[in-house]
Amino acid sequence: MRCEVLAVGTELLLGQIVDTNSAWIGEELARAGIETYRHVRVGDNQARIVDSMRSLLASSDALIVCGGLGPTPDDVTREAIAEVMNVDLHRDPEIVEFIRALFGSRGREMSGNNERQADVPEGATVIPNPIGTAPGLRCPIGHKVVYAVPGVPYEMQLMMTEHVLPDLLERSGERATIRSRTLKTWGVAESTLAEMIGERVDVQTNPTIAFLARGIEGIAVRVTAKAASEAGAQELLEAEEVALRAILGDLVFAADDETMESVVLGLLRERGLTLGIAESLTGGLVGARICNVPGASDVFRGAVVSYSEGVKRSVLGVTAATQVSEECARQMAEGARKALDADVGLSTTGVAGPDPMDGEPPGVVYFGMQIGDAPAEAVRVQLPGDRERVRQFSAISLLSLLRTRLAAIPPDSPTLPPGG
């Protein structure tokens, strides 16, 4: 069974609304073992909706159309479906009364244009919507089927769960589960990654392997497996993950919903360490990433945004002659650890651009780190991109550096190794 997804709404094309509905539908179809090859977005134009529906139906068994079922003149999904079915619309009086009663229960009077939501293509059946005014539609077209669901997420999800997915599974006659696992990598280009695991990509048909470039978040390797059961799919995923990790090693920093910051916090927690940060170039970006993780406060002491030279000197005790230097980065890390009473001190300082500073060109960044009472260290890197990208890359690069240092410390180590 193959089912495609068509999202309707000019606002999706203009970027005014992000199409999270298609992502949710795709995930649920995969969970049910129903394949989907194409997700398409189209504006509120009947002719283009009709063209998109016909194209998607030509290569699939079913189509889910999301959106365009409202009461306004630009909501033309019903008309488009009727055109594809080559039938007329009829107004269902029971639906009209349901909508009227729903408005009444909310203390409001139904306007006349809401009656359009009761228009049903001949031969279609209504999917009830107990929590909204727009019913869904189940529309047979030969041996294929089109489902129309509202764009309001909670209304769509209810219809999908209670009506559309069970109907699709019954039509398919086959129960299968598709599961995916995403391994997140940092510090290597996509081309290099492809070379490293190219042989596995070439020989795999189940699971399959794909690359997802995620900008400053690195390169993800997505593994997708299909099996008759949840347990079978998970077994395939786990075996492939073991093989990939054996090849990629430390390049893999997280999986699925994990982030660089959540992994770092976990490593700190396992080792009983607390963290304090001094940020100049990044201006609070590192601390913000860490604070996005629930429960971070048990190991994260805080951050000092020491953007000015005066703050570096008065709060962190920096004495270095220049702000963009290894010496300054080390002293900032030491100052953060002391000022915030933390076991680990981190720091960032550098040149975001566009102008050089302290004799260094834009993109030069120094990371400082002190773990325990070991001497502080500093690392110089040259990062690409404009001002914003340099700052964002700096934040995740610093966290990645800490990740590798912490991974070298056994969780049950009674003392921290010299030099971190």
Provide the 3-class DSSP secondary structure of residue 125.
strand
Please report whether residue 39 resides in a domain: yes
* pLDDT score for 359: 95
Same domain flag for 200 and 160:
no
* pLDDT score for 32: 84
Span between the terminal Cα atoms of the chain, in Å: 55
Question: Domain end: 227, 255, 283, which one?
Answer: 255
Token reading at 58: 């030509």
Task: State how far the Cα of 101 lies from the Cα of 105, in Å rounded to an integer.
Answer: 6
Same domain flag for 63 and 114:
yes
Return the residue matching tokens 């408005």: 103
Task: State how far the Cα of 292 lies from the Cα of 315, in Å rounded to an integer.
Answer: 25
Same domain flag for 251 and 283:
no
* pLDDT score for 418: 46
Report which DSSP code applies to 249. Answer: G
Same domain flag for 13 and 156:
yes
CATH of the domain at 131: 3.40.980.10
* pLDDT score for 415: 53
Question: Domain end: 114, 145, 172, which one?
Answer: 172
Same domain flag for 167 and 186:
no
Please report whether residue 418 resides in a domain: no
Please report whether residue 220 resides in a domain: yes
Same domain flag for 150 and 78:
yes
Q: How many domains does the chain have?
A: 3
The whole domain housing 193 covers 177-255
Please report whether residue 416 resides in a domain: no
Token reading at 43: 């504006």
* pLDDT score for 414: 56
Same domain flag for 24 and 86:
yes
Please report whether residue 419 resides in a domain: no
Same domain flag for 123 and 220:
no
Please report whether residue 417 resides in a domain: no
* pLDDT score for 226: 84
Task: State how far the Cα of 256 lies from the Cα of 276, in Å rounded to an integer.
Answer: 27
Please report whether residue 190 resides in a domain: yes
List the beta bridge partners of residue 227: 177
pLDDT, mean of each 10-residue run, the chain (420 residues): 96 94 92 91 97 97 96 94 97 91 84 90 94 92 97 93 91 80 92 90 83 88 87 94 95 95 97 97 98 97 97 97 98 98 98 95 97 96 95 97 94 57
CATH of the domain at 292: 3.90.950.20
Question: Domain end: 231, 255, 279, which one?
Answer: 255
* pLDDT score for 353: 93
Same domain flag for 146 and 196:
no
Token reading at 374: 């070991």
The CA distances from residue 282 to 97, 355, 390, 398, in Å, are: 59, 16, 9, 10
CATH of the domain at 233: 3.30.70.2860
* pLDDT score for 224: 86
Same domain flag for 149 and 116:
yes
Provide the 3-class DSSP secondary structure of residue 202.
helix
Same domain flag for 192 and 311:
no
Please report whether residue 64 resides in a domain: yes
pTM: 0.73
Same domain flag for 121 and 187:
no
